Amino acid sequence: MKTYTIKNFDQQFPTDDACLDFLFKSRYPNGVFCEKCGKITKHYKRANMKFYSCEFCGMGVAPTSGTIFHKSNTPLRSWFHAIFLMSSTKTGISAKQLQRTLGVTYKTAWRMFKQIRKLMSENVNPLNGQVEVDETYIGGKRSGKRGRGASGKTTVMGLTERQGKAIVKVVPDVKTRTLLPMIWKNVASNSTVFTDELPSYNHVGKLGYSHEIVQHAAKQYVRGVAHVNTIESLWSTIKRGIDGVNHSVSPLYLQSYLDSYVYRYNHRKDEQPMFLSLLARVSTLT
């Protein structure tokens, strides 16, 4: 991925008008069709307004309409800065950090934090090739049981291609009836699936996959090409982020937090800076 620094951000988006112009051009790359004039016409920004008017009739468009910026009184540059901050590290930042950095209220920072996470929720095509599958538990009290059966924790299932993308979802349990449909839905049929020895995975081979198992209970973590180290590395990143940055996450919002971590993971090797990729999604998710 190409590096995009705060210096680049300040040069490209020095003012609210620069941000609005970027959004306008992104949403209307081929120009704006004026319904009143019946043709594509030039549109000019109105002074002190987030609005562009037709050069002939005065009708126009608001580039922020229908986006995460819709009806927000927060400066557009602050929104762009927040997106930049949330896309700049593997673990992101917290709403509290946004509050301090942007100089807004916590209520405003939380709303921005929540809306930007929506940009990071995306559908991923079925994974293929060598795919690792595992589950983990997030949240709950620090004391008590660990791992499977941990009290008060939320169950999360992850699937990741080696050297590729990942899918992570909150699931109700780790039973066969829950895990196997997730694999069937999200992994291409010609793939090799790697798991640990959880009995719920016993029938993965019957779905038509090549199935390789590592016996963690016997302290076997690598057996030839069989391991789940890739997905466990992703678990480490997510948990380090939640514990160190967010501190705790309500089960109600956990999936959206997971989406943000997985988005950063899935786009870690992109040529385009992640910040610009997220800005592009503003225009498409309307």
- Per-residue confidence of the chain (286 residues) as pLDDT tens digits? 578 999 999 999 999 999 999 999 999 999 999 999 999 999 999 998 999 999 999 898 999 999 999 999 999 999 999 999 999 888 788 899 999 999 999 999 999 999 999 999 999 999 999 999 999 999 765 544 555 555 678 999 999 999 999 999 999 999 999 999 999 999 999 999 999 999 999 999 999 999 999 999 888 888 889 999 999 999 999 998 888 776 678 888 899 999 999 999 999 899 999 999 999 999 776 5
Number of C-alpha atoms within 13 angstroms, CB side, residue 112? 31
Class of domain 130-266: alpha beta
Token pair recorded at residue 61: 């468009």
52-54/166-170 β-pairing: unpaired
Domain with CATH 3.30.420.10 in the chain: 130-266
The span from the CA of 226 to the CA of 123, in Å, is: 27
Token pair recorded at residue 32: 């704006």
Task: Name every residue whose Cβ is closer than 8 Å to that of residue 50 and which is 6 or more positions away in sequence.
Answer: 20, 62, 63, 64, 76
